């Protein structure tokens, strides 16, 4: 039987995990799946959110065979075989799986980030509709094992793509690097390397690739020239390069110009004022500051240069706004510290909006907040950074929002109504 040509490009139909907001409970679905696992499923009368073309396709049928979409089209245009398991989805929405583009699942495996804890978080993320995560460095030994088990569906987890970290030698005094390198020497692990201008970079990158990493992450105490050499070496070996927006010795403009693929933390540009590098000015930390004040301060930063460089280099912005907002509202921190985070947040959200307005792709990541779901970061982008309720990002489908879906998220999380259909 010839099926109707899919309405979406192959990259959309063949490679996305799907999730549904259905009005039935997780236990029902789990019970049904344990009794019956059909090879053919028909989703009838579903509202399909086309994230590539920015359209809501109403009253569609989606025919899924195994893990691939066979056909998609208006409800009466798709013949449904008698052998298919049919699910009525009237009034419900079908969207691509979400991506949390900034997590740290296994940084302190012997402490708080145990394997059991990581599996618990991974399961919770998948059941909330997050089907892929980008882990921004941790214990590469544990990450390799977790990634393998997720790939083989031996655990309930999103797909995991992780980075090997590179930084200057001084960074490895940080206790977090000792936790992630337990049993080894911080700065000498293949997945967490200290580098200088004298390091054999092609070899160091090849060793990090051997850990199973998708990318290298440039973290701190790296000069602009070294960042460029590392980026070249990684790209030559087929690895992505994910970086902090500034690298202590490399300014935001130098970091972007090095050719990295993604820069994280929009708030980091607050530290690089023309008159004073690598600090938050005292005047930003004292007293109440209104939006007019922050608009004026933001206008004094060289943000146009950042935008031009990002457009030239096709750089993606990993904004991570929510974590800054939560720190600035954390009563456990001193007023001085909260004021510093307020400055970072106010500058960061303004830059994120500027990036959006200039066509720079923005992906959604939570940083240390992954166990409370990336949907909260998505909401902040809408309420605080100028995103419309629906906006397509440059890492399809990092983000797909529709007004009714956005409104459904809190209730769905509470009632357990966000269900994974295919994983």
Please tell me the CATH code under which domain 98-399 is placed. Answer: 3.20.20.140
3-state secondary structure 259-275: CCCEEECHHHHHHEECC
- Between strands 276-277 and 272-273, the pairing is antiparallel
CA distance 358 to 410: 31
The two three-digit tokens of residue 235, written as one number: 């790209």
- Between strands 93-96 and 85-88, the pairing is unpaired
pTM of the predicted structure, to 2 decimals? 0.82
**Do 10-96+414-420 and 98-399 have matching folds?**
no
Determine the pLDDT at residue 354.
97
Q: 190: how many CB neighbours lie within 10 A of its CB?
A: 17
CA distance 31 to 49: 28
Tell me the residue ranges of DSSP E strands in 104-210: 130-135, 159-167, 188-189, 192-194
Sign of CA dihedral 101, 107, 113, 117: positive
By the 8 A CB rule, do 141 and 113 touch?
no
Sign of CA dihedral 400, 393, 375, 214: positive
Q: Return phi, psi of residue 161, to 5°.
A: -125, 120
The string of pLDDT tens digits covering residues 336-392 is 889 989 999 999 999 999 999 999 999 999 997 667 788 889 889 999 999 876 544
Q: Omega of the bond prior to 397 within 30 degrees of 0, cis?
A: yes
The string of pLDDT tens digits covering residues 97-117 is 888 999 999 998 888 889 999
Instruction: Please give the CATH topology (third level) of the domain spanning 10-96+414-420.
Output: Urease, subunit C; domain 1 (2.30.40)
Determine the pLDDT at residue 297.
93
By the 8 A CB rule, do 329 and 372 touch?
no
DSSP-derived 3-state class of residue 187: strand
Determine the pLDDT at residue 278.
58
Whole-number Cα distances in Å, 392 to 32, 53, 128, 283, 402: 34, 9, 20, 37, 11
Sign of CA dihedral 321, 325, 327, 333: positive
83: left (phi over 0), alpha (psi -120 to 50) or beta: alpha
The string of pLDDT tens digits covering residues 265-311 is 999 999 887 666 557 788 887 767 899 999 999 999 999 999 999 99
CA distance 298 to 243: 22
CA distance 287 to 232: 45
Least Cα distance to 269 among 287, 259, 284 occurs for 284
Q: How far apart are the first and last CA of the chain?
A: 26
Least Cα distance to 319 among 389, 386, 400, 273 occurs for 386
Tens-level pLDDT at each residue, the chain (423 residues): 233 333 333 233 333 344 443 333 333 333 333 334 457 889 899 888 777 777 788 999 988 888 778 889 999 899 999 889 998 888 888 877 888 999 999 998 888 889 999 999 999 998 888 889 999 999 999 999 999 999 998 999 999 999 999 999 999 999 999 999 999 999 999 999 999 999 999 999 999 999 999 999 999 999 999 999 999 999 999 999 999 999 999 999 999 999 999 999 999 999 887 666 557 788 887 767 899 999 999 999 999 999 999 999 999 999 999 999 999 999 999 988 899 899 999 999 999 999 999 999 999 999 976 677 888 898 899 999 998 765 443 333 333 333 333 333 333 332 322 232 222
CA distance 414 to 409: 9
List residues bridging with 218 in a β-sheet: 166, 243
DSSP-derived 3-state class of residue 159: strand
CA distance 299 to 15: 42
DSSP-derived 3-state class of residue 89: coil
List residues bridging with 263 in a β-sheet: 243, 317
Tell me the residue ranges of DSSP E strands in 149-301: 159-167, 188-189, 192-194, 215-218, 240-244, 262-264, 272-273, 276-277
Whole-number Cα distances in Å, 205 to 102, 197, 344: 21, 14, 32
Q: Where are the domains of the chain?
A: 10-96+414-420, 98-399
Determine the pLDDT at residue 66.
80
Dihedral of the alpha carbons of 168, 170, 173, 174, in degrees to the nearest 10:
-50
């Amino acid at each position: 039987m010839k099926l109707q040509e899919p309405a979406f490009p192959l990259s959309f139909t063949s490679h996305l995990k799907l999730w549904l907001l259905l009005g039935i409970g997780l236990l029902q679905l789990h019970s049904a799946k344990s009794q019956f696992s059909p090879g053919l499923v028909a989703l009838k009368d579903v509202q399909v959110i086309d994230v590539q073309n920015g359209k809501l396709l109403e009253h569609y049928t989606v025919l899924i065979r195994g893990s691939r979409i066979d056909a998609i089209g208006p409800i009466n245009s798709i013949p449904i075989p008698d052998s298919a398991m049919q699910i009525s989805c009237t009034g419900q929405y079908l969207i691509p799986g979400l991506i949390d583009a900034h997590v740290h699942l296994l940084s302190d495996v012997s402490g708080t980030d145990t394997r059991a804890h990581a599996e618990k978080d991974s399961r919770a993320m998948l059941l909330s509709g997050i089907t892929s995560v980008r882990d921004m460095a941790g214990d590469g030994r544990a990450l390799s094992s977790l990634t393998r088990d997720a790939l083989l569906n031996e655990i309930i987890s999103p797909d995991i793509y992780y980075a090997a970290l590179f930084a200057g030698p001084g960074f490895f005094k940080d206790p977090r690097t000792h936790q992630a390198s337990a049993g080894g020497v911080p700065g000498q692990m293949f997945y967490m390397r200290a580098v200088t201008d004298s390091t054999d970079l092609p070899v160091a990158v090849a060793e990090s690739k051997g850990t199973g990493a998708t990318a290298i992450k440039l973290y701190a105490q790296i000069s602009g020239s070294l960042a460029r050499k590392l980026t070249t070496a990684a790209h030559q070996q087929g690895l992505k390069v994910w970086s902090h927006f500034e690298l202590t010795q490399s300014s935001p403009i130098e970091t972007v110009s090095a050719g990295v693929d993604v820069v994280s933390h929009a708030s980091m540009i607050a530290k690089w004022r023309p008159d004073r590098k690598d600090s938050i000015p005292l005047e930003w930390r004292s007293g109440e500051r209104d939006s007019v004040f922050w608009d004026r301060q933001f206008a004094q930063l060289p943000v146009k240069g950042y935008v031009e460089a990002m457009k030239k280099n096709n750089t993606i912005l990993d904004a991570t706004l929510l974590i800054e907002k939560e720190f600035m509202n954390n009563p456990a921190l001193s007023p001085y510290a909260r004021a510093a985070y307020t400055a970072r947040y106010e500058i960061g959200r303004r830059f994120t909006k500027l990036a959006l307005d200039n066509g720079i792709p923005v992906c959604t990541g939570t940083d240390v907040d992954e166990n409370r779901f990336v949907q909260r970061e998505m909401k902040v982008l809408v309420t605080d950074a100028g995103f419309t309720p629906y906006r397509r990002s440059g890492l399809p489908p990092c983000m797909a929002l529709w007004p009714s879906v956005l409104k459904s998220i809190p209730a769905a999380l509470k009632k357990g109504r966000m269900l994974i259909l295919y994983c």
